[in-house]
Amino acid sequence: MAPGDAGRALFHALHALVRAEATAEAHAAGVEAADLEQAVWLRLLERRAGPEAPADPARRVRAAVRAEVRTARRRARWERAYPAGGSPGDWAGCPERITVRAEERRALRGAVGRLPGRCRRLLEAMLAPHDPTYREIAGELGMSQGSLGPMRSRCLGCLRRMLAAEVVAPELRGMER
């Protein structure tokens, strides 16, 4: 018998029993029945050719289900759900995040500095730390407040094109042929 045939035979022989056991135990473990069933199948198929496997398939299935339930309960004790709408962690004070954000700001300011005259002045004014209003920016640049929106849009398009040209294509991952 081929290895694949043994797995199929095991699946057909134990399918109903595994599904029933997983469905019965899933609620108490706080997991989805399908997830528990999948974990049990993985455990059964990994250990199908071992001398320690009991001859009684029902006992073997029950033992596998209970072992997976114990694992799920242990995992549930340590895992906590994220607060509703919250982020997966407090990254605000993370040194990596601070460094990455500083590098992004430097790259953005460098790209803005390479823009043509009026665009450079407009976006530098918009990136000012004191967060100026459109009226203040228009007064500083000597232009009408109504023309800031369209000009801002054109300048941001120019900046996007410039930054897109600088982005390096990602490297291939995995096995290469």
Among 59, 72, 75, 58, residue whose Cα is nearest residue 29:
72
pLDDT at 53: 45
Residue pLDDT, tens place only, 145-176: 899 999 999 999 998 888 887 765 566 666 65
Q: Tell me what the mean pLDDT of segment 2-30 comes to.
A: 79
Residue type for 76, please? Answer: A
Residue pLDDT, tens place only, 69-79: 998 888 888 87
Q: What is the CA radius of gyration of the chain?
A: 30
DSSP characters for the chain?
--HHHHHHHHHHHHHHHHHHHHHHHHHHHTS-HHHHHHHHHHHHHHTTT-TTS-S-HHHHHHHHHHHHHHHHHHHHHH--PPPTT--SS--TT-HHHHHHHHHHHHHHHHHHHTS-HHHHHHHHHHT-TT---HHHHHHHHTS-GGGHHHHHHHHHHHHHHHHHHHSPPPPP-S---
Residue type for 29, please? Answer: A
The lowest-confidence range among 9-13, 20-24, 35-39 is 9-13
Say if residues 30 and 76 touch (Cβ distance below 8 Å). Answer: yes
Environment class of residue 153 by beta-carbon count within 10 Å: exposed (0-12), middle (13-18) or buried (19+)?
Answer: exposed
**134: phi then psi, degrees, rounded to nearest 5:** -60, -40
pLDDT at 4: 62
Percentage with pLDDT > 70 across the chain: 78
Percentage with pLDDT > 90 across the chain: 16
Q: Tell me what the mean pLDDT of segment 24-45 comes to.
A: 87
**135: phi then psi, degrees, rounded to nearest 5:** -60, -45
pLDDT of residue 24 exceeding 60:
yes
Residue pLDDT, tens place only, 110-152: 889 999 888 999 999 988 888 899 899 999 899 998 999 999 9
Instruction: Tell which wins on pLDDT, 51 or 85.
Output: 85
Say if residues 145 and 153 touch (Cβ distance below 8 Å). Answer: no
